[in-house]
Amino acid sequence: MTSNQNVLRWLEEMKALVKPMNVVWIDGSREQMEDLKKQALSTGELEELNQELLPGCVLHRTAVNDVARVEHRTFICSRKKEDAGPTNNWEDPQVMYEKLSKLFNGVMHDRTMYIIPYSMGPIGSPYSKVGIELTDSIYVVLNMDIMTRVGKDALGQLGDSNDFVRGLHSKADIDEENRYICHFPEDNAIWSINSGYGGNVLLGKKCFALRIASYQGWKEGWMAEHMLILGIQNPKGEIKYVAAAFPSACGKTNLAMLIPPEVYEKKGYKVWTVGDDIAWMNIGKDGRLWAINPESGFFGVAPGTNMKSNPNALISTQKNTIFTNVVHNLDNNTVWWEGLDKNPPENAVDWKGNPWNGKTSDVKGAHPNSRFTAPAINCPCISSEFSNPAGVPISAIIFGGRRAKTAPLVYQARDWEHGVFVGSVMASETTAAAAGAVGVVRRDPMAMLPFCGYHMGDYFQHWLDMGKKLGDKAPKIFNVNWFRTDDEGHFIWPGFGENLRVLDWIIQRCEDSVDAVETPIGYGPKPEQINLDGLDDVTMETVAGLLDVDKKLWLEDVAAIKEFYAKFGDRLPKELSDELVALEKRLS
Ligand code: OXD
Ligand code: MN
């Protein structure tokens, strides 16, 4: 498939290590994928679903001990420990290679090794990058085929270059005790063993497109971020793009695919999805920040996805989709999960493979982290720019988290530096305990806590440096919080499609067409600037309450931020500690 000597040399080395029984190059052809799917169906690795109702769809169950990303077994193996920073697990690369070589030694002696060349980003884009994943799992091959651009085109994109990410994966025995997800940023390499769960084994995604790519972006002057990208089209047909970072379970996929409220739809507003999880952002020739989605599919959480919460996501899963760890409805050979509808199947199999009756069972049928892997082109609101090699220009960057109190519905950072501060102190609450204890706040800077492949203090500095390069062309930075609750713990803001009302104010701020109120934490809207037309249950007073900045709570937050910042020692940029001091002063 290739004459690239860098690739061939590395392949020989890896083959000598894992000693595969067979080797198969993945060329990206439909015939090959269909063939592999058939093989996996024959061994039970996959089950075919109802091909009339769900054409091209299959079901997979992982091992019961292997259902999520394993942060405590994920390592950044930089040569120097301090380069991994205080937020990552670290091991010396030589020690880790030795340890893993023992586990990988001969691991494929009775298995086929699949060689998957893939491109993160559209073929032909100057911002795309190539990886090669070696794996013994057909499930991985079929998922990678949806999530990335695999095969000959990716190899063509690479040419003779040595700039490719070397990924090695084996399911081995799915042994939890020996599960390792290891990154060697200085070697462009990822080794993953003893897992079959997507986030640990689809090496293009979190491992490459965030951990390795964040390191590459730092070295090369661009950014790899845990962000959705969406376009908002106004009635004149103009489209403005925003990128938004939220920690897990804060509705990133829902926001990326939102359906405008009726009053907006009638006026001609439309929302287009470019990406739901990862953004690679470069400074374009015009000096603005341009983003591509390096992925070509959605690896979404199934539970809670329904025709009301996210119809576009649900429609995306109706063909050519791989479902993992959901309920298998035996009556019509389809799938189900908690929150899909109020009609759970009685004759079903749960995610563990046990008989399950949704009407009588008191255990969940689908794993809370059960997933769909769906091609992006299935999405009814996929952007026409989705595969544009140039990407889309970003007008606004939005940070957000789940905060029951403290953070207002929306505010704008004073400038880029202050915006970096706002992102660096991002936090999300675990839900409050029933006894009324306050939620536990976990700091998750830029939603990158588990995904930054180098020292987070250097990452903050990189953000500041990018701002200097962008100058007055830098996107404006905002923070949102959809999750404020009342005294009974109910969400005050309706969320979902109604969030467009907040995005509307954000876009107007980017166009300089609306003024703002200065508060100690940044610039906020006047309540009447949030359009409430057609939203009967939310009054202007409610919005005023949602925008309120409680100085006492914020001063408590300042104290918590000081503690958090202390972790970074002298690698915390001075600009950020200055921002903290300035915030405290404005609050006092
Ligand atoms: C995640 C994901 O875990 O996107 O953040 O899968
Ligand atoms: Mn994610």
Residues with beta carbon < 5 A to ion ligand 2? 277
pLDDT at 553 over 70: yes
Identity of residue 515: D
What is the tens place of the pLDDT at every residue in 181-200?
Answer: 999 999 999 999 999 999 99
Whole-model pTM? Answer: 0.97
| Identity at 175, one-letter amino acid code | D
Distances, alpha carbon 272 to alpha carbons 37, 276, 380, 507, 569, in Å:
31, 11, 9, 15, 41
Could you identify the residue written with the tokens 């100057």? 126
Beta strands in 466-516 (DSSP E): 476-480
Asked if the model's pLDDT at residue 434 lies above 50, the reply is no
Cα-to-centroid distance, 277 and ligand 2 (Å): 5
Residues of the chain with CATH 3.40.449.10: 5-44+69-221
Task: Report the atom number in ligand 1 closest to the C-alpha of 277.
Answer: 4
Query: What is the b/e burial string over 454-463, where b = at least 16 CB atoms within 10 angstroms of the residue's CB?
Result: bbbbbbbbbb
Percent of the chain with pLDDT over 90: 95
Which residue bears the tokens 């990326």?
256
The confidence band for 433, taking pLDDT boundaries of 50, 70 and 90, is very low
Whole-number Å distance, alpha carbon 404 to ligand 1 midpoint, is 22
CB–CB of 170/18 below 8 Å? yes
CATH 2.170.8.10 spans which residues of the chain? 298-378
Ligand nearest to the CA of 202: 1
Q: Which of 74, 299, 369 to mutate to test the pocket of ligand 1 (most atoms within 8 A of CB)?
A: 299
Enclosing H/E stretch for 508 = helix 500-510
Ligand 1 atom 4 nearest Cα: 277
Distance 248 CA to ligand 1 centre (A): 6
CATH annotation of 225-295+384-587: 3.90.228.20
Whether 510 is a known active-site residue: answer no
Question: How do residues 292-316 score in pLDDT, each as one tens digit?
Answer: 999 999 999 999 999 999 999 999 9
416-424 and 574-587 helices cross at what angle (nearest 10)? 90
* 22 CB near ligand 1 (under 6 Å): no
Taking a C-beta distance cutoff of 8 angstroms, is the pair 327, 345 a contact? Answer: yes
CATH of domain 298-378: 2.170.8.10
Average pLDDT over residues 475-493: 96
Helix, strand and coil content of the chain, in percent to the nearest 5, comes to: 35, 25, 45
pLDDT of 215-254, one tens digit each? 999 999 999 999 999 999 999 999 999 999 998 778 899 9
Looking at all shown ligands, the one closest to residue 198's CA atom is 1
DSSP codes, 266-335: HHT-EEEEEESS-EEEEE-TTSSEEEE---SEEEEE-TT--TTT-HHHHHHTTSS-EEES-EEETTTTEE
- At 28-69, the pLDDT tens digits run 999 999 999 999 999 999 999 999 999 999 999 999 999 999
Contacts 24+ apart (CB under 8 A), 426-431: 426/245, 426/247, 426/399, 426/400, 426/401, 426/479, 427/401, 427/403, 427/557, 427/560, 428/246, 428/247, 428/250, 428/401, 428/402, 428/403, 429/401, 429/402, 429/403, 429/404, 429/483
Of the pLDDT bands very low, low, confident and very high (cuts 50, 70, 90), residue 430 is low
Q: Which of 77, 250, 381, 452 is catalytic?
A: 250
The two three-digit tokens of residue 557, written as one number: 């937050």
> Whose C-alpha lies nearest to ligand 1, atom 1?
248
Residues 6+ apart with CB under 8 A from 268: 233, 234, 235
Tens of pLDDT, residue by residue over 438-449, are 567 889 999 999
**DSSP for 175-204?**
-GGG-EEEEEGGGTEEEEES---HHHH-TI
Q: Which of 264, 253, 263 is nearest to 230 (CA)?
A: 253
Q: Distance between CA atoms of 144 and 521, rounded to whole angstroms?
A: 42
End-to-end CA distance of the chain: 66
3-state SS class at 97: helix
Residue nearest atom 5 of ligand 1, based on CA coordinates: 248
Determine the atom of ligand 1 nearest the C-alpha atom of 299. Answer: 6
Distance CA 147, CA 209 (A): 11
| Other beta carbons less than 10 A from residue 181's beta carbon | 26
Ligand 1 centre and the CA of 482: distance in Å?
20
State the CATH class of domain 5-44+69-221. Answer: alpha beta
What average pLDDT score do residues 425-446 get?
A: 68
What pLDDT sits at residue 441? 82
Task: Name the residue of 246, 248, 295, 446 whose CB sits within 8 Å of the most ligand 1 atoms, as the mutation to test its pocket.
Answer: 248
The Å distance, Cα 245 to ligand 2 centre, comes to: 9
Other CB atoms within a 10 A radius of the CB of residue 220 amount to: 10
Looking up tokens 């791989």 gives: 322
Cβ of 295 less than 6 Å from ligand 1: no
* Distance from residue 226's CA to the centre of ligand 2 (Å): 6
- What spacing in Å lies between the alpha carbon of 199 and ligand 1's midpoint? 7
Average pLDDT along the chain: 96
CB of 299 shorter than 6 A to ligand 1: yes
Q: Is the CB of 205 under 6 A from ligand 1?
A: no
DSSP state letter for 492: S
Best mutation site among 67, 69, 254, 451 for ligand 1, i.e. most ligand atoms within 8 A of its Cβ?
69
Domain boundaries for CATH 3.90.228.20 within the chain: 225-295+384-587
- Residue whose tokens read 């404005």: 586
pLDDT band at 5 (very low <50, low <70, confident <90, very high): very high
The mean pLDDT value for 546-568 works out to: 97
| Whether residue 69 has its Cβ less than 6 Å from ligand 1 | yes
Give residue 83's pLDDT.
Answer: 98
Q: How far apart are CA 491 and CA 431, in angstroms?
A: 12
Query: In 3D, which of 422, 367, 433 has the Cα closest to residue 397?
Result: 422
Per-residue exposure over 86-110, b if at least 16 CB sit within 10 Å of its own CB, e if not: ebbebbebeebbebbeebbeebbee
Q: Measured from the CA of 371, which atom of ligand 1 is nearest?
A: 6
Q: Where are the alpha helices (DSSP H) in 519-550?
A: 540-547
Q: How far apart are CA 485 and CA 287, in angstroms?
A: 41
277 CB within 6 A, ligand 1: yes
Please give the pLDDT value at position 437.
Answer: 46
Atom from ligand 1 closest to the CA of residue 451: 5
Main-chain dihedrals φ then ψ at residue 435, nearest 5 degrees: -65, -5
Going from the Cα of 308 to the center of ligand 1, the distance in angstroms, rounded, reads 22
Question: Which residues, in sequence order, are CB contacts of 558 under 8 Å at separation 6+?
Answer: 580, 583, 584, 587
Q: Is 199 in the pocket of ligand 1 (CB under 6 A)?
A: yes
**What does residue 575 show for φ and ψ, rounded to 5 degrees?**
-55, -35
Q: Is the minimum distance from the CB of 248 to ligand 1 under 6 angstroms?
A: yes
- Answer yes or no: is the C-beta of 451 below 6 A from any ligand 1 atom: no
What's the token pair of residue 489? 């713990």
Please provide the DSSP assignment of 9-44 as one string.
HHHHHHHHHH--SEEEE----HHHHHHHHHHHHHHT
Position 123 scores a pLDDT of 97
Instruction: Return the residue matching tokens 């897992």.
Output: 195
Tens digit of each residue's pLDDT (9 = 90 or more) over 125-156: 999 999 999 999 999 999 999 999 999 999 99
Q: Which residues contact 237 (CB under 8 A, 6 or more apart)?
A: none
3 state SS of 232? strand
